Structures are given as C-alpha cells and as structure tokens.
Amino acid sequence: MKRRGVFPFTAIVGQEDMKLSLILNVINPALGGVLIKGEKGTAKSTAVRALAELLPAMEAVKGCRFHCDPVQESFLCDDCTEKFHKDGLSDIETLKMRVVELPVSATEDRVVGTLDVEYAIKKGEKKFEPGLLAQANRNILYVDEINLLDDHVVDVLLDAAAMGVNTVEREGVSYSHPARFVLVGTMNPEEGDIRPQLLDRFALSVTVTGEHDRDNRKEVIKRRLAYEADPEGFIAAYQKEQEELAQKIVAAGKLLPEVTVADDMLDKVAGLAIDLGVDGHRSDITLIKTAMTMAAFQGRKNVETEDLKIAARLALPHRMRRRPFEDGTLDMEKVLAALEG
C-alpha cells in the first residue's frame, strides 16, 4: 500500500506556540512532552501527525525490540546490557524517529505488553510480548483526547514516564524494559479534566484557538482545499520548507549539548518560581531546559532572557494551579517583571 501523504507541518497556518513546542520536543526528546489543548478543528492532530515527516534519524541497536541507543549505557534493555558487557554493541542500524499512537480505547495489556500466548501454547514457555510502550521507546507517544483515557491506563503512563522504565508484573510475565518517550497529548477541555499528576508530567502546554484573523482564516481554507485537490502537488510545493526545517532541527539537536546557562539566568528562574509559588521543582528544571533548547533552535550556545520568556510561556501555564482543580492562570506581566528585573 502506498503511504498517503500527510499535510505538511510547514503548511499549517498560525498556531506558532503549538508548532514551536512540538519542534522543541523533537530537538530535545528529554524535555518531557507537550499537551495541546483546544477545541475541535484547530489542527491539533494534523500538527502531530505532520511532525512525523520532520523527525530525525537515530542510531539503534540492530534487532532490539526497544531500539536501544547504543551510546546510552544507562538506558539499555536487558538483552542489550548483556551484549554491551560481553562484546560491546557494534551492530547498529539507523531508524527514523516516529510517532506511535495510543488510541483512547487501548487496553492495558496492549499498552504495557503481555504474555505471548501463541508462544506459550506452542512451546509451553513464557515469553513477553511487548506493547505500545516498547514501540514508543525513544519515539513520540501520541495520545489523542488524553483526558478521556481510562484511569488505569493513565497510571501506567505516569509510571513509565516517571521512571523511563515500563515494569510489567501481569498475566504470568515479569518483565521490565526502557520506555523513554516524548509524550504528546491533545485534549478538548470541554470534555473533561486531565489529572493534575498527568498534567504535571507534561513539560509544556499550549492552548490553541481557531484563527480570528480574517486573512489567516481564508488562508487555512485555501491551503486545505489545495491539499485535498492535489495532495502530491501540495506536498511538493512545501518540500523545500520542510527540508529546511528538518535540517534546522538536526542542527539544533547537535548544538544542544554545548548550550550553557549563566548563573544570572538560573537566578532569574529560581526567583520566578518563588514569586509564582509553584509546586515542587519540576517547573524550574523544565523552564531552564526549554530555554536551552530554544537557544539551540536559534543557533546560540548561551541562554538569553528572551529564551526564558518563551520558555515561561510554554512551560508554566499548566503549573499555576495550587489545588487539584483550582483555576490557574499565568500572570505574564509578573513573569516578565521577574525575568527582566
């Protein structure tokens, strides 16, 4: 089957914060994902699916079910760890990072993995059959309508996201494997809340609204029609822009390890966190990592106040609630005052 083309990422009109937050997560998969909130028909899913085209290639241990990273010895699966200590990991393949979708109706056994029934019946032995979390290792895990996900599946996601490891003690199998993924969720807030704990696991959050600008709205319709009339031609027209962005992402990823943060920048972040009275320390570190990734995206090796401002806009709004469902709003003026002061 020929793969149907996807609407190009660069052809999406407006929604700059959403696009930026997705790009930052691709540049820095350790950032911690993004939650995209918005009404129906605001290109949320389109953007996530389009992102697949921009994902960089990565090296992985050949044949590994979890596509382990050969240079990260701390995140190897059991098999790879054994190989690593025996002969080293030399057999390597290049894979493209991809988007793994977790449908809302997914059952827990499919998410975490389960007993390989066929193998058990044929051989009389137990074997672990990996689930979606195995596929998602080092990839993007996309959950559409994440607020409608069953509670017990959310628990599993939280667990894996917190530890970077999926621990399975179910249905006759005891197994654990690396599960480090970029969690991307979309939700329509009108259909219900998302658990604060899950919310907190997202590094960034953005709210998308329909375009209010007349010209932009018209442009959205035009492009959609053009795409539907001739998908291939439309995609071809954006080919160059797509490639440029993909290259920029790769370059930023390479630059990222060299980005440094000056002490006065840390000072600003700590001061801001105290001013805003956020819970815990996850927000500080997320803020600083986002700013670093932003700097890399801009081709800089040092974090500037501008980066912090953008990072604050993306990383803080969903952390402003102090009680489970208190109304939290980010006072941008306060943020700017703290960051510029």
Partner 1 sequence: MSNYNYCYPFAAVVGQKQAKRALKIALVNPKAGGLLISGVTGTAKSVLVRSAAMLAGSRKIINLPLNVTEDMLFGSIDLEYAVSQGERRFESGLLGRADGNILYIDEVNLLRPELLTAVLDINIAGENRVERDGISFAHKTEYTVIGTMDPHEGLLPNHLLDRFGLFVETENLKDKEQRKIIMQRLLDFSRDRIAFIQSYRKETEQLKVQIAKARELLPEVEISEAMMELVVQYCTQAFCAGHRADLYLLETARAIAALAERTYILPKDMEEAAMYVLPHRMRKPPEPESEEEEPAQEEPEEQEENTDLPDDADEAENDQENSLPPPPASQEADNENNTDENNDSNENDKKTPDSDPQINSSQEDKVDGIDMHFPIPKMILDMGRDQVNRKGSGKRSLTKTDLKQGRYVRAEIPKNKVDDLAFDATIRAAAPYQRHREKNNCAINIQQGDLRQRVREKRIGTTFLFVVDASGSMGAQERMRAVKGAIFAMLQEAYQKRDKVGMIAFRRKVAEELLPITRSVDLAQKRLAELPTGGKTPLAEGLAQAFISLDMLKRKEPDAEPVLVLVTDGRANSVVQEGEDPVESAMKLAKQIHKAKITSIVIDTETDFIKLGVAQQIAAAMGANYYKLKQLSQGDILHIVRNIGI
The correct pick among 93, 230, 267, 340 for binding partner 1 (CB under 8 A) is 267
Query: Of 225 and 274, which CB lies nearer to partner 1 in the complex structure?
Result: 274
Q: Cβ(102)–Cβ(109) under 8 Å? A: no
Q: Which is nearer to partner 1, 191 or 243 (CB)?
A: 191
Report how far residue 237's alpha carbon sits from residue 8's, in angstroms, rounded to the nearest whole number.
Answer: 10
- If the CB atoms of residues 40 and 152 are measured against partner 1, the closer one turns out to be 152
x/- string (CB under 8 A) for partner 1, residues 25-54? -----x------------------------
Angle at which helices 305-315 and 332-340 pack, to 10 degrees? Answer: 150
Q: Determine the Cα–Cα distance for residues 60 and 75; give it in Å rounded to an integer.
A: 12
Assess whether 180 carries a catalytic annotation: no
Q: Which residues of 209-244 are buried (b: 16+ CB within 10 A; e: fewer)?
A: eebeeeeeeeebeebbeebeeeeeebbeebeeebee
Query: How far, in Å, CA of 267 to CA of 284, rounded?
Result: 11
Site for partner 1 in 317-336 (CB under 8 A): 322-327
Say how many C-beta atoms besides its own lie within 10 A of residue 328's C-beta.
17
Stretch that binds partner 1, among 37-45, 82-90, 184-192, 232-240 (CB under 8 A): 184-192
Catalytic residue among 282, 300, 321, 323: 282
Among 42-50, 86-94, 151-159, 206-214, which window interacts with partner 1 (CB under 8 A)? 151-159
What's the min distance (Å) between Cβ of 64 and partner 1? 12
Site string for partner 1, 87-116 (x = CB under 8 A): ------------------x-xxx--x-xx-
How far apart (Å, rounded) are the C-alpha atoms in residues 113 and 99? 18
Range in contact with partner 1 (rule: CB under 8 A) among 52-60, 165-173, 236-244, 246-254: 165-173
What is the C-alpha separation between 14 and 183, in angstroms, rounded? 23
Q: Cβ 193 to partner 1, closest distance in Å?
A: 5
Amino acid making up residue 199: L
The reply to whether 204 sits near partner 1 by the rule CB under 8 A is: no
Q: Give whichever of 50 and 256 is closer to partner 1, judged by the CB atom.
A: 256
Residues 58 and 71: their CA atoms lie apart, in Å, by 11
AA identity, residue 53: E
Shortest reach from residue 57's CB to partner 1, in Å: 22
List residues with catalytic annotation: 282
